[in-house]
Structure 1
Amino acid sequence: MTDTIETLDHIRDGIAALAARERRFGDMFAVTGMPPLRRLPGGFPGLLRIVTEQQLSLASAAAIWARMQARHDPLTPERMLALADEDFRAVGQSAAKIKTIRALSLAVVERRLDLASLDQAPDDEIRRSLTAVPGIGPWSAEVYLLACLGRPDAWPSGDLALQVAAQAAFGLPERPDARAMARLAESWRPWRAVAARLIWAYYATLKRPLAARAGAPA
């Protein structure tokens, strides 16, 4: 068992462990192939990107993030606090995201949130520290653990794409909410982050034409 997910071999090990417990993981893997590593830089830039991507499609999130990088580099907390609301709106940030970015930036500048040292902390401590910042909820904290820190047991149970794909893959009568997703994944510890990567990859296949999805899990 690895402490962090750093390579595709780590993902392969996790999928093997998951498939040994639940055949549907093997079925999904047969459809998706190897899921992507999904790693981002840590620290403030990584968390800023995750905040930007909250509740957006991949395409919209990528476009806004590209504009943030092009217009507001360097992406430091000091720089974010110096920008006006109009600067954020010009790249597509919503009013709620602007408030969250300011709260996050202020927490870092005032050293109430030390991301460099926090990155070495246990998962639960990281969750508590991040969600103490106004506007940063469980989804953002879990995605930070998964994508920026590579923690193997991160589980963003509130993610809509995960919920939709889990309903399809596991034959559930309705889309599970965050609590139901937490219960569903309890037996997948300590590989829930690998489960998330595979289920996200399976979600992508659900949008393909039916003919291209022959053999998808029943």
Structure 2
Amino acid sequence: MDSKRAYGALAQADPVLAELIAQYGTPDPFEFHDGGRTAGSNFAAMVLHILGQQISTRVAFILYDRLADVLGGTPTASSVAGLGPERVKALGTSRAKAVYLADLADRVRTGSLDIERMDHLTDEEAVEALVAVKGVGQWSAEMFLIHQLRRADILPAGDVGIRKAVAAAYRLDGVPGVDEVRERGTRWAPYRTFASALLWSYLSVSTAALSKA
């Protein structure tokens, strides 16, 4: 994916994004900060995404590392299925997430979800396949499409960070709703993943600056 072309197109399409690019640069939207834990495995990456729902990244890594340690390496569908929900829960995660991981493992193990080979699917088809897994919602599926499938035109409009960044960057009176963000983002196609990365970067820098003020 040509990052220079993508950000160049965004700058031409939207003067606000052009200003953000000038100030905050061109972040890599596909970078996955897992510390090498998932070893390029889409299944293991989704395990980490599920464990990380509604908790901090630091805690998610702790839970993932406990799971990998018990399994003796990078989680696979067979090893997670063999462990079972109760033993996964005993590692410190919630019962719900243990059930979600069991369902993910079962679907991958039986072939109903070919998670390692999804490149032939459209964005819509990939999201549909992923959200069929218990506990995998739109946001988790979109994160997977960005970081694992490296799709260029994903806008997680329901993400609170994206909505806050849009409110600040466009000087809105309040945080916009999901539909408003999607509508505003139509001009960013086919590079909405890059626009999302830019908005996240802007929010992160702005938040850090405010905390030091």
- The alignment's TM-score, normalised by the length of structure 2, stands at 0.84
Matching residue of 1:29: 21
1:129-208 map, 5 Å: 129-208=129-208
Instruction: Quickly say closer, same or farther: Cα 1:33–1:112, change in 2 above 3 A.
Output: same
Q: 1:147, 1:100 → 2: CA distance?
A: 20
Q: C-alpha separation between the residues in 1 aligned to 2:119 and 2:131?
A: 14
In structure 1, stretches of 5+ residues that fail to align are 214-218
Higher relative contact order (CA 8 A, sep 6+): 1
CA distance in 2, matches of 1:116, 1:191: 24
TM-score of the two chains, using structure 1 as the length reference: 0.82
Q: CA deviation at 1:29?
A: 2.1
| Distance in structure 2 (CA, Å) of the matches to 1:152 and 1:94 | 33
Contact 1:39/1:150 (CA < 8 Å) preserved in 2?
Answer: no
Letter paired with 1:17: A
Report 1:1-218 matches (<5 A). Answer: 5=1, 10-40=2-32, 41=40, 43-72=42-71, 73-85=73-85, 87-210=87-210
Deviations 1:66-102 (A, max 9, x none): 4333443230011112224454345442222212111
Contact 2:85 2:102 in 1 (8 A): no
Residue in structure 2 matched with residue 216 of structure 1 by the alignment: none
CA distance in 1, matches of 2:28, 2:90: 31
Aligned length: 205
Listed one character per residue, the Cα deviations across residues 145-167 of structure 1 (whole Å, up to 9, x for unaligned) are 11101110122222222122221
Tell me which moved more, 111-120 or 198-207.
111-120
SS at match of 2:27: coil
For residues 82 and 180 of structure 1, the distance between their equivalents in structure 2, rounded to whole angstroms, comes to 44
Deviation at 1:25, TM superposition (A): 1.1
The Cα offsets for residues 176-217 of structure 1, whole Å up to 9 and x where unpaired, read as 23322222212211100111111111121122234989xxxx
Please list every run of 5 or more consecutive structure 2 residues that lacks an aligned counterpart in the other structure. 33-39
Residue 63 of structure 1: how far off its partner (Å): 3.5
How far apart are the structure 1 equivalents of 2:177 and 2:54? 15
1:165–1:203 contact (8 Å) kept in structure 2 = yes
For 1:116, the aligned partner's letter is E
Give the root-mean-square deviation of aligned CA atoms.
Answer: 2.3
1:143: Cα distance to partner?
1.0
C-alpha separation in 2, matches of 1:12 and 1:148: 21
Task: Call closer, same or farther: CA 1:62–1:166 in 2, change over 3 Å.
Answer: farther
Task: Give the AA of the match of 1:182.
Answer: R
